[in-house]
């Protein structure tokens, strides 16, 4: 529409501001909305377009992002005490790159406390509500990003993924989410959860839109020494013909609740009918990897928040404070061991499990979307729900592998409502382009990603 002159960036931005404000009044999706700065950025984009000097495909497109990204005029919100932000902090690299490409930032979006909860619940900021069913969780911690995309409030949003925080809300809210390879996208200016597990990536309405965002934010950043110098591949068109899809029955498909298996099997059947080969892959010790992952994450987030725990303990909710205190006692030797064996386990996983396939096809969640009541930290089931939401996801944060979450149907949630369901594609390191191409091909055959909640 922009290229054809059917709309201006101001038109799109005004519509996005109005829509996000309305959706947030119903769901608590936005932490703040900056109308003046957004409209000024939109007007600059329109001026560039009139002059024939557009900055790329994202020029003039309104976006909003998870609150943990520092922004020069929007600030930051980590969902808890923000005591680790240095006075010299500059705008996050990923935000700078999007804005340098002409994208319009319109606000900060909801996240869970300390960005450390897979449910989307936040005792300090208020819960983010699921636009498909307000009794059900949104998933977290990138809750607002998923809701904003699912409700067509913005065209895309950035999130972060430490143990599933992009993929869970993407699957629950019916959007597409990409967790890139560890080190593929800069984390500079993003409030950390776990330095060894944090990944930054996009959520959007489709794999094609995720691809457009990913190609702008990916690449080496001198401000983040963990970023890779490896070239970012161009993302083209692809078909499913000849793609070798790996299936892991024992840990993943066999753990699925019965009524969730239908949509997963349907998506596999569709890929097979379109020319993909389905290949069962060897099992792996995912329980061990989950244990190593949990140990590292707990030790690192507890150390990060130790000054706040000492001097501002009441700024945490009781449940979060209790959880962080548990991590303080983890011995350094245990964390060091978990870190040192990562390389060997990654090598073993890629050469053994993925030896004969291009990617894995796995569920995102083994359980139906829980209700807010079930997921509450005060409920007896709360800790079980949190574990079940991440059990199929954290292994790939520990291994640092790229993952793409795609909608694949509707299921009956724990509340009885019909809610979106998703699956994830897991690739070899730095294979984001291949995953996105397959995701685009899959979505050309389905319309699950086109469904919107009635808000």
Nearest CA-CA partner of 182 in 346, 307, 332: 346
Burial class of 222 by CB neighbour count within 10 A (0 to 12, 13 to 18, 19+): exposed
Q: Is 165 a catalytic residue?
A: yes
Q: Is 302 a catalytic residue?
A: no
Of the candidates 66, 145, 206, 405, the residue annotated as catalytic is: 66
Of the candidates 45, 136, 141, 153, the residue annotated as catalytic is: 141
Look at the block and give the residue holding tokens 């950025």. 41
Nearest CA-CA partner of 450 in 152, 188, 213: 152
Of the candidates 165, 294, 405, 431, the residue annotated as catalytic is: 165
Pair 419, 136: CB distance under 8 Å:
yes
**Structure tokens that stand for 169 in this block:** 């809300």
CA–CA–CA angle 297, 301, 306 (5° rounding): 145
Q: Is 141 a catalytic residue?
A: yes
Q: Which residues contact residue 430 at a Cβ distance below 8 angstroms, ignoring those fewer than 6 apart? A: 181, 184, 228, 230, 233, 402
**Residue positions annotated with a catalytic role:** 66, 141, 165
């Amino acid at each position: 529409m922009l290229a054809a002159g059917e709309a201006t960036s101001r038109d799109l931005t005004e519509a996005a501001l109005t829509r996000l404000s309305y959706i947030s009044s119903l769901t608590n999706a936005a932490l703040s909305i900056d109308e003046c700065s957004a409209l000024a950025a939109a007007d600059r984009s329109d001026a560039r377009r009139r002059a024939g000097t557009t900055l790329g495909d994202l020029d003039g497109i309104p976006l909003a992002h998870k609150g943990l990204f520092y922004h020069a005029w929007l600030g930051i919100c980590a969902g808890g005490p923000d005591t680790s932000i240095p006075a010299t902090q500059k705008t996050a690299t990923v935000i700078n790159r999007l804005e340098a490409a002409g994208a319009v930032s319109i606000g900060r979006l909801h996240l869970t406390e300390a960005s450390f909860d897979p449910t989307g619940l936040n005792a300090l900021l208020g819960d983010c509500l699921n636009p498909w069913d307000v009794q059900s969780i949104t998933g977290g911690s990138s809750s607002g990003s998923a809701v904003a995309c699912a409700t067509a409030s913005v065209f895309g949003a950035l999130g972060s993924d430490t143990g599933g925080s992009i993929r869970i809300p993407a699957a629950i809210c019916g959007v597409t989410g990409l967790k890139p390879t560890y080190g593929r996208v800069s984390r500079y200016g993003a409030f950390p959860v776990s330095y060894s597990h944090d990944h930054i990536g996009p959520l959007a309405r489709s794999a094609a839109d995720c691809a457009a965002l990913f190609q702008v934010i990916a690449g080496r950043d001198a401000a983040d020494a963990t970023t890779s110098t490896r070239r970012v591949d161009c993302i083209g068109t692809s078909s499913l013909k000849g793609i070798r899809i790996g299936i892991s029955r024992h840990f993943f498909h066999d753990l699925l609740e019965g009524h969730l298996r239908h949509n997963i099997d349907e998506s596999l059947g569709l890929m097979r009918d379109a020319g993909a080969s389905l290949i069962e892959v060897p099992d792996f010790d995912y329980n061990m990897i989950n244990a190593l992952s949990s140990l590292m994450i707990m030790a690192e987030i507890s150390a990060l928040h130790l000054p706040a725990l000492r001097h501002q303990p009441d700024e945490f909710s009781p449940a979060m404070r209790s959880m962080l205190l548990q991590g303080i006692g983890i011995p350094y030797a245990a964390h060091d061991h978990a870190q040192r064996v990562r390389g060997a386990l990654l090598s073993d996983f890629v050469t053994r499990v993925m030896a004969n396939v291009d990617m894995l096809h796995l569920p995102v969640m083994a359980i139906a979307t829980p209700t807010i009541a079930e997921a509450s930290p005060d409920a007896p089931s709360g800790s079980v729900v949190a574990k079940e939401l991440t059990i199929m996801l954290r292994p790939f944060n520990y291994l640092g592998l790229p993952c793409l979450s795609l909608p694949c149907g509707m299921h009956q949630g724990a509340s009885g409502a019909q809610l979106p369901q998703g699956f994830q594609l897991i690739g070899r390191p730095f294979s984001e382009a291949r995953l996105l191409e397959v995701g685009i091909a899959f979505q050309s055959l389905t319309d699950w990603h086109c469904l919107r909640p009635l808000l």
